[in-house]
Amino acid sequence: MSYALNHTNRKLTLEPKITVNAKIVVVGASSVGISFLETLIFCSHLKFSNLTLISTHGLPGKNLLGTEQRKFLASDHCYNDKDHALMSLCSWVNVVVGKMTAIDRAAKQVIVSREEVVLYDHLVLCTGQQYQVPRPTGADISQHPTNREVLNSGLQQYTGPVPCNHFTLNDEEDCLKALTWIRNNSIAVEDGGIASLSCC
């Protein structure tokens, strides 16, 4: 298990800190969002007492990924599992698990998962890079159309039914779901490879 060794000297113990009670809400547990929270938490002369993180799957690093699962995600050179364990953000940050669905700027509140309300004084949006299900254009590929010839509608996000064997891998939770589906719907050969996949 990873551990953290924190050293505090007498000077830092006796130095008064200014408490900041402003409600700071960070949306998204991307590298930018984690870095922003880390900067506030470890500020030597300020103490932020009301930090909140809104994330779909909570804090990153709670599931230690194995080698197979880690291959699904692009390499993140900012933070690894050990860094998340050493920071211990759960000790300093209130975590709201859910997806932000609306912002009410007049009332200074965020709607999470269409039902929960989170108030804020300062709102920081750090959703990061998110992959989406590709949207079919309906173009006839036998005619070899160019991008200019393909009709572009205002609807850029695909909202139709998604096949059960299609995955968008944005975080470690998505990787676990994809790997579980592959293991349950594939035929393993003797050398450990995958012979075939069943499709829906």
Global pTM value: 0.68
pLDDT tens-digit readout, 87-133: 888 888 999 999 899 999 999 999 998 889 999 999 999 987 766 66
Q: Is the pLDDT of residue 200 over 60?
A: no
Q: Report d(CA 93, CA 133) in Å as an integer.
A: 31
Rounded average pLDDT over 20-45:
91
**What mean pLDDT, rounded, does the chain reach?**
79
Say which amino acid occupies 195. Answer: A
DSSP conformation class of 199: -
pLDDT of residue 199: 47
pLDDT of residue 165: 78
Rounded average pLDDT over 160-174:
77
Nearest to 44 by CA among 9, 22, 87, 15: 15
pLDDT tens-digit readout, 36-64: 999 999 888 899 999 999 998 888 776 65
Q: Report d(CA 147, CA 192) in Å as an integer.
A: 42
Q: Which residues contact 167 (CB under 8 A, 6 or more apart)?
A: 174, 177, 178, 181
pLDDT of residue 196: 46
